Amino acid sequence: MNTGDSNNQLMSEINVTPFVDVMLVLLIIFMVTAPMMTQGEKVNLPETTSAPLKADGKQLIITIDKKKQLYINDFKVSSSFFKEKLLKIMENRQNKEVYLKADKDIVYGHVIKIMGEIKAAGINKIGMLTVPEIKK
């Protein structure tokens, strides 16, 4: 490619347009798929004004749905084997914390009962997941 001068040297510039195109496509793909990457079962969470927690994506999420069914991440667990299953999972984990996600229509006593089983499994850090309150 000539630069137009009399030396007839080659131009050594990088064409960045294809790189920008690829980056824009990747950005759109990640923007579309990011909301689909939430863990756990879908529940109707209570709203609160607390600040969000920082997460690394490897948390253990315990979910209680409207029917009082228990899930550890995406796997359904019967309530009779919940504590044993949690003990087995936690024996090999460095991070001894879980996040509890309960439907807002669940009876408070049932949530406290599950929290007691979590504590009995040796977990002292329990984070409660909520939805940010929409300010009007």
Q: Would you state the pLDDT for residue 45?
A: 62
For residue range 7-31, what is the model confidence (pLDDT) as tens digits? 677 777 888 888 899 999 999 988 8
What digits encode the pLDDT tens for the residues 48-106?
A: 666 655 555 678 889 998 888 999 888 899 888 888 888 888 888 888 888 898 888 88
Number of domains in the chain: 1
- Does some domain include residue 40? no
Q: Phi and psi dihedrals of 50, rounded to 5?
A: -75, 160
Instruction: Supply the pLDDT for residue 113.
Output: 92
Answer whether residue 106 is part of any domain: yes
Write the CATH number for 115.
Answer: 3.30.420.270
pTM above 0.75? Answer: no
> Residue 2 falls within a domain, yes or no?
no
> Do residues 90 and 121 lie in contact, with contact meaning Cβ atoms separated by under 8 Å?
yes
- Please choose, from the candidates 37, 42, 38, the residue with its C-alpha nearest in 3D space to the C-alpha of residue 63: 42
Q: Is residue 10 part of a domain?
A: no
25 belongs to a structural domain: no
Note down the domain range covering 96: 47-132
